[in-house]
Amino acid sequence: MSVNSKVVNYTSKDVKLQDKRWLNSIELEEYIGWSRSWQSKARMSSSAVNLPYKKIGKFVVYDRYEIDAFIEEHTVIGG
């Protein structure tokens, strides 16, 4: 007797980035365009940018809501 189980693939390309809450560095690069190198530098404590992120063990993830708020906070109106 076999048991059927449905496997959910959270890394599937079927899920649009704007619909995902948690993004890895590759997805953030696709979503905003910030290179992974820039992201790494922006996460450093000595950086003036203070990019919001979460670290779980060695894995870094970004909350898309926090990234969107971060961009709103850093909006510059030219004159």
Domain regions of the chain by residue span: 19-73
Q: Assess whether pLDDT exceeds 90 at residue 23.
A: yes
pTM, two decimal places: 0.75
What does the H/E/C string look like for 46-72? CCCCCCCCEEECCEEEEEHHHHHHHHH
Residue 62 pLDDT? 98
Residue range 25-58, pLDDT digits in tens: 999 999 999 999 999 999 998 989 899 999 999 9
Mean pLDDT (the chain, rounded): 86
